[in-house]
Amino acid sequence: MSADDNSTRTNFIRNIIDEDLAAGRNGGRVATRFPPEPNGYLHIGHAKSICLNFGIAQDYNGTCNLRFDDTNPHKENVEFVEAIQRDVHWLGYDWGDRLYYASDYFEQLYELACELIRRGKAYVCDLSPEQIRDYRGTLTRPGKDSPYRDRSVDENLDLFARMRAGEFEDGARILRARIDMASPNMNMRDPAIYRIRRGAVHHQTGEAWCIYPMYDFTHCISDSIEGITHSLCTLEFEDHRPLYDWFLDTLEMECHPRQIEFSRLELQYTVTSKRRLTELVEEGHVEDWDDPRMPTIAGLRRRGYTPASIRDFCERIGVTKSENNVEMGVLENCVREDLNRTAPRRMAVLHPLKVVIENYPEGEVEELEAPNHPQDETMGTRRLPFTRELYIEQDDFREQAPRKFKRLVSGGEVRLRNAYVIRCERVIKDSRGEIVELRCSYDPDTLSKNPEGRKVKGVIHWVSAAHAVEAELRLYDRLFNHPSPAAARDGADYRAHLNPDSLLTLTHCRLESSLANAQPGEHFQFERQGYFCVDPDHSHDRPVFNRTVTLRDSWARIEQQQKEAS
RNA sequence: UGGGGCGUCGCCAAGCGGUAAGGCACUGGGUUUUGAUCUCAGCAUACGCAGGUUCGAAUCCUGCCGCCCCAGCCA
């Protein structure tokens, strides 16, 4: 694939697989699966699971299935089914012809449930949801048996068939596993395995069913049917493993996958729970699932993150069972590293300040050649029109220079990137005292060479006023201003920590002319500013770029320190 | 308070009885027409705490402490 793939680290799951292989288990076969529920968009946490499952399949010459865990028709839909496939593909993984739905197995699942009944290991229970909760007991008190626990096999079979036939109201009855109401593991206290959902329209099976199997029953059997060898899931399912094993053992399934749990990814300054992401979208705190501030795969893509950078990130954070809280800096470092290598350089002025080169002939246009990448000649060059009137960054000029400031000051010199050295001769202000224009002179003998007898330390970017493309630049910052918005000590709802300044839209930015035919999805480094990508909303008439991430900025840090010192 | 997990540098994370990898962050130096990149150097006498076993422990034993998960007809 790409540069990030030759340094695969090991982790405890790979170690377990190595041991299984060494012990000759599963006939040397490795089969994993990525099993999303299509009830929302995939996020960075899913990326971790995707890279783990598909990555293992690749490295062990095995297979990884994509399987939709679609057992809850109330929450799922095809929009999500399609978005998930798009995102997994975009991340760089391919499931070939192994696209499955748990709903593919509904008939088998039903038959297996009947088998459980025949073996005396499942029963139809008429208790209401409230009664079931009551009978379940608490964490410290055992539950008590349902009065329906000892129905005959025939009665159970009959009732279950009638549940399927739609004879009973939603909630009137459920099918339960018959295990142990006194188990210290709550999951083993006769868990529900089928519930009634009449009138639900399932995105895959339509109205064929009015009973739907529960996760615990469905998941292990789906894994078994598909011949999965290692079923990887997150830590909260650790308590479910005895149940996973119980179903497969009780039904004497031929294939018994090994469930292994790892900790889910926590990323600072964001939320990664589908419930909260759904709320952010539905309550309008963000534009949509693909809002560039969202930690969704779609959002990261629109923000300008590359598949390789996300894979690299997943590699770097590792896979363990300990809780973690990864800093945004790690993710950001991954894109910077990838984009530094691959993104062509361009110049863009975010906050324009007019500069007139007084000793440059009016009407003249010089075509200067500039490399697309300072370290990679193979990326070629492009032409920059140089003229008498330019724009530079407001922030690159100060009337009074702070300590260590090496940009343009009154009477001082600075290098225009890929062009000449200029000197600021005069500052023009409006009636309110605001600087509106700089009158400068240029040294014609400084193109591609240093001036005689003096050092010019600073280099700033610029664009030709007459040729500039006017564009909208969207600058993004973290969505939340608290490192753990969902677990803040102040007890406030995560929404209280939403960052009001997470999006700053700049509408009159000036870009170098070569950007006129940029295409949606393209990445660039706007020198000295950051990495940007062309937004899907972009058009030739209304250019729109998103800032993926800023460049590292040691000047900002120095300036900050000076501010704090004074 | 029942059960299941986890505790190694600011954040991740190797380590599996032989005397603390690596990445990110941070600090300082060099190169540089991006204060970018690149590059060099520094950054845990210490592995939640307390005992014990051992010539030797982050790794084994015991006891504490802290944090997370579980009482959906969600996944």
Protein contacts on strand B: list nucleotides below 7 Å from a Cβ.
Answer: 1-8, 10-16, 22-27, 33-38, 67-75
Query: What pLDDT does residue A93 have?
Result: 98
Nearest nucleic acid nucleotide to A417, CA to C1' distance: B33
Name residue, tokens 């361009």: A346
Tell me, in Å, how far CA of A56 is from C1' of B67? Answer: 31
Query: What pLDDT does residue A8 have?
Result: 61
User: Which residues lie across from A125 on neighbouring strands?
Assistant: A174
Tell me what ipTM this predicted complex has: 0.97
Tell me, in Å, how far CA of A424 is from C1' of B19? Answer: 64
3-state secondary structure of A481: coil
Nearest nucleic acid nucleotide to A212, CA to C1' distance: B73
Buried b (16+ CB within 10 A) or exposed e, A351-373: ebbebbbeebeeeeeeebebebb
Residue A155 buriedness (CB in 10 A; 0-12 / 13-18 / 19+): middle
- A274 belongs to the catalytic site: yes
**A103 CB contact with strand B at below 7 Å:** no
Nearest to A110 by CA among A198, A204, A206, A209: A209
CB atoms within 10 A of CB A222: 27
Q: What is the pLDDT of residues A105-160, one digit of tens each?
A: 999 999 999 999 999 999 999 999 999 999 999 999 999 999 999 999 999 999 99
Of the residues A14, A48, A178, A274, which is catalytic? A274
DSSP-derived letter for residue A374 is T
Rounded Cα–Cα distance for residues A513 and A371 (Å): 15
- A48 belongs to the catalytic site: no
**A449 CB contact with strand B at below 7 Å:** yes
> pTM here?
0.96
* HEC string for A307-361: HHHHHHHHHHHCCCCCCCCECHHHHHHHHHHHHHHHCCEECEECCEEEEEECCCC
**A379 CB contact with strand B at below 7 Å:** no
Is the distance from CB of A420 to CB of A448 less than 8 angstroms? Answer: no
- A293 belongs to the catalytic site: no
Chain A residues 405-434 within 7 Å (CB) of strand B: 405-407, 415, 417-419
**A337 CB contact with strand B at below 7 Å:** yes
What are the per-10-residue average pLDDT scores of chain A (566 residues)? 49 96 96 98 98 98 98 98 98 98 98 98 98 97 98 98 98 98 98 97 98 98 98 98 98 98 98 96 98 98 98 98 97 98 98 98 97 98 98 96 94 98 98 97 96 93 98 98 88 92 98 97 98 97 98 92 80
Rounded Cα–Cα distance for residues A257 and A260 (Å): 10
Enumerate domains of chain A plus CATH numbers.
Answer: 3-262 (3.40.50.620), 274-344+471-565 (2.40.240.10), 348-461 (2.40.240.10)
Which amino acid is it at A544? V
Residue A294 buriedness (CB in 10 A; 0-12 / 13-18 / 19+): buried
Rounded Cα–Cα distance for residues A545 and A503 (Å): 13
